[in-house]
Amino acid sequence: MKTLKEIQRQLSQGKFEFSRHGFKRTVERNIGELEIKQAGANAEIIENYPDDKYSPSCLLLGFTKSNRPLHIQVSRDDSNLAKIITLYEPDEMEWINYSKRR
């Protein structure tokens, strides 16, 4: 299973791919590759999903250089690329400091 450091490295270096759902959300939410790299570099795990549908995954919180918060759900499977399952800008009404569910 991938460590946080491995996930951060892959995301920050652009070594990631999208699930079909993740790609759709990236386009819909206007989240660019550079923003993913920036947020991925400093991301922290805020939730773990060891029993996720297809493989263990986790929800990351990271910030872009312009301080845009991003939640990025990634698979923790060992592979050469980080697989982004979904990503979005968290809603302040649903999250405390973007890291804890209300």
Q: What is the pLDDT of residues 38-52, one digit of tens each?
A: 999 999 999 999 999
CA distance 11 to 96: 25
**102 found inside a domain:** no
Q: For residue 59, what are its two tokens?
A: 């929800």
**97 found inside a domain:** no
**Contact by Cβ (8 Å): 43, 58:** no
State the total domains in the chain.
Answer: 1
**Contact by Cβ (8 Å): 43, 3:** no
pLDDT digits (tens, 9 = 90+) for 53-70: 889 999 999 999 999 999
Q: For residue 99, what are its two tokens?
A: 């890291």
Residue 100: pLDDT band (50, 70, 90) is very high
Task: Return the amino acid letter for 101.
Answer: R
**12 found inside a domain:** yes
**Contact by Cβ (8 Å): 60, 6:** no
pLDDT score at 11: 98
Q: Which domain holds residue 51?
A: 4-90
**96 found inside a domain:** no
